Structure 1
Amino acid sequence: MRVEIWSDIACPWCYIGKARFEKGLAAFAHRDGVEVVFRSFELDPDSPRGRTAPVTEMLAAKYGRTLDEARGMEEHVARTAHAEGLDYQVEGRDHGNTFDVHRLLHLAAARGRQNALLDLAFRANFAEDRSVFDPEVLLALAVEAGLDEAEARTVLADPTAYAGAVRADEREAAELGATAVPFFVLDRRYGISGGQPAEVFTRALEQAWAGRAVQEPESAAEACGPEEACAVPRQAQA
């Protein structure tokens, strides 16, 4: 059985949702028969490449909040992440265009290192003082994940490399009706939106394995906040 997960490195609920899914998968009796594939989705595709801004400033501008309110949103996410055993920095994080991260994740998938790179990129973005929007940092993460440095550098230097694969993933998400990420598709039959509790994923896997209809958990499609999902931009749903 294949599980496909649409996510973005800039989405904190994708970071948390991955950890929760993995806990749910670990409790699934047939876990060795599950193939997990991560698909690309950009929450902010219009963000200028090569430019970054503090996350709290981005959140305040995007949702019409004050900086203190935006910081409160981040603190809520941090508490949730910590409850899952994840490190999370509220201050000092950057927001930027994630297209190059996604392109490199497709290279990693082709080399069998996708999960390793994704874990490193999530950790760098949410828990460390390393910006994944710096090409040299991204290259270092690729090498740390086991990719060939020269090949990864070549991909990063060529904006067309794996660009079609990223766009194809995003088109598929729209066709499947994704309204929020993380978005989980089990065996191309059942969909789950948001970073649901681990036990929800375990039940969904069990029901999908048995071939019975899965009742989709309530989709949280508002913002990166208590709803435990990140809203898909309107234009991406068209």
Structure 2
Amino acid sequence: MLDPLFPQVRAGLVPLVHGCPWCYIGKARFEKGLAAFAHRDEVEVVHRSFELDPGRAKGDVAPVVDMLAEKYGRTPEEARGMEEHVASNARAEGLAYRTEGRDHGNTFDIHRLLHLAKARGRQDELLTLAYRANFAEERSVFDPEVLLTLAVEAGLAPDEARDVLADENAYADEVRADEREAAGLGATGVPFFVLDRRYGVSGGQPAEVFTQALEQAWQGRVIQPVAAGADVCGTDGACDV
């Protein structure tokens, strides 16, 4: 599974979004909610790092269905059913989603590369491509060559992206800083959106919920708790399905 990063909005609003299948879905729903927001052109979205399975060894890559079956104590057939449930939600948002052949692994290199993309103004482009590769296509984002290809497709310089992937310390501090900030803001599951560093929306909520949250944050009113913990993935790599 891929952990994207969590967004942040300037000009009075700030979402925090992380990865997992619900983040793939949540990003699409947030973007629809943002599109319906009257002040959308004044909102800046920034994605920040949040690892779902930070203790997993680099190179330890396994099929998602196998991981789900082991983690939840389910049969392979039941695990596939869990994936189909998520897939139906993704497809309802117009997102492609394949339930077979996807990998689960350590995402630290992806996050480091996304920080390079942020520095070059191409973060959303790379995140969108990485999500598509991970959830919809037959490309493993845990393969360095695939990551390099995605980086180039997103508009990054090949040599620069290759150098970042080769240097394990490149942008490592930035990833860790994001994770500390997420912990400080109380994010224990993903997706998690923070608006103006004051208001939070947890889970892959419907688009209209995001529009309402943006409007309330813009007006400075306190947002009521919104279905905290619904459709999220936790720091142990487990996802509510």
TM-score by length of 1: 0.93
- 1:6 correspondence with 2:39: no
Cα RMSD, aligned residues only:
1.1
Q: Could you say which residue in structure 2 is the equivalent of 1:213?
A: 222
- 1:39 correspondence with 2:48: yes
Give matches, 1:172-187, under 5 Å.
Answer: 172-187=181-196
- Separation (CA, whole Å) in 2 of partners of 1:85 and 1:131: 22
Measured against aligned partners, the alpha-carbon deviations of 1:135-177 in whole angstroms (never above 9, x if no partner) come to 0000000000000110000000000000011111111111111
Q: Could you say which residue in structure 2 is the equivalent of 1:232?
A: 235
Runs of 4+ in 1 over 3 A off after TM superposition: none
**What is the SS of the residue equivalent to 2:224?**
coil
Q: Could you say which residue in structure 2 is the equivalent of 1:136?
A: 145
**What is the SS of the residue equivalent to 2:98?**
coil
Give matches, 1:193-212, under 5 Å.
Answer: 193-212=202-221
- Separation (CA, whole Å) in 2 of partners of 1:46 and 1:179: 16
Give matches, 1:1-238, under 5 Å.
Answer: 1=11, 2-8=13-19, 11-220=20-229, 227-233=230-236
- Separation (CA, whole Å) in 2 of partners of 1:84 and 1:172: 30
Task: Give unpaired runs (5+ residues) of structure 1.
Answer: 221-226
Q: Give the deviation of 1:6 after TM superposition.
A: 3.3
- Separation (CA, whole Å) in 2 of partners of 1:111 and 1:3: 21
Amino acid at match of 1:36: V
Amino acid at match of 1:106: H
Identical-pair percentage: 73
Q: Give the deviation of 1:63 after TM superposition.
A: 1.6
Q: Could you say which residue in structure 2 is the equivalent of 1:224?
A: none
- Separation (CA, whole Å) in 1 of partners of 2:222 and 2:14: 16
- Separation (CA, whole Å) in 2 of partners of 1:162 and 1:72: 37
- Separation (CA, whole Å) in 2 of partners of 1:194 and 1:34: 20
Q: Give the deviation of 1:85 after TM superposition.
A: 0.1
Measured against aligned partners, the alpha-carbon deviations of 1:1-41 in whole angstroms (never above 9, x if no partner) come to 24232312xx0000000000000000000000000000101
Task: Give unpaired runs (5+ residues) of structure 2.
Answer: 1-10
Q: Give the deviation of 1:218 after TM superposition.
A: 1.4
2:17·2:27 contact (CA, 8 Å) conserved in 1? no
Amino acid at match of 1:3: V
1:6·1:173 contact (CA, 8 Å) conserved in 2? no
Q: Give the deviation of 1:233 after TM superposition.
A: 3.5
Amino acid at match of 1:86: L
TM-score by length of 2: 0.91
Amino acid at match of 2:31: E
Amino acid at match of 1:228: D
